[in-house]
Structure 1
């Protein structure tokens, strides 16, 4: 179930990236896309096994939340749900 929650949050993040009414700069879009791709790759990797990159991944998401919190609260909220889903998966 946690993996499905993460998939749902990644889909929400992808939808936000696709929306043209989100006032994201090209750099912000690229940063979010790269973060999305890293999380998706981790999800596709062997699930349930600890990975040394996991802490780095969670840190990256948390830094993105801080960055987007004031200007893009919807994006920050989606990223917070991503962190929660990662935590639920033991990452």
Structure 2
């Protein structure tokens, strides 16, 4: 599977996980939704115009979800790995 398709699939998984965790605090939910939206905008861009900061943003999100929601953190880690594989 091409990396871009894999990234979109992972973003969809994060959205699904959000639906399955209604107990998430509103601020965490909103931050993650904003991150995924930003991430999807980056997916539409050509690799040369993508910013490496998106990987930093996803890494920060991993830290915020590691303890309470390891499934979401794991999916976010997969996104970071895939971003690294395509040079972002």
TM-score by length of 2: 0.90
Mapping of 1:17-28 within 5 angstroms? Answer: 17-19=18-20, 21-28=21-28
What is the aligned residue count?
Answer: 87
CA RMSD of aligned residues (A): 1.3
> What CA deviation, in whole Å up to 9, does each residue of 1:24-63 have, x standing for no partner?
11111100000000110000112x2143xx2221111111
Give 4+ residue runs of structure 1 displaced > 2 Å after superposition. Answer: none
Q: What is residue 31 of structure 1 aligned with on the other side?
A: 31
Matches within 5 A, 1:56-75: 56-75=53-72
- Find the aligned partners of 1:5 and 1:22 in 2 and give their Cα distance: 25
TM-score of the two chains, using structure 1 as the length reference: 0.87
Gaps of 5+ in 2: none
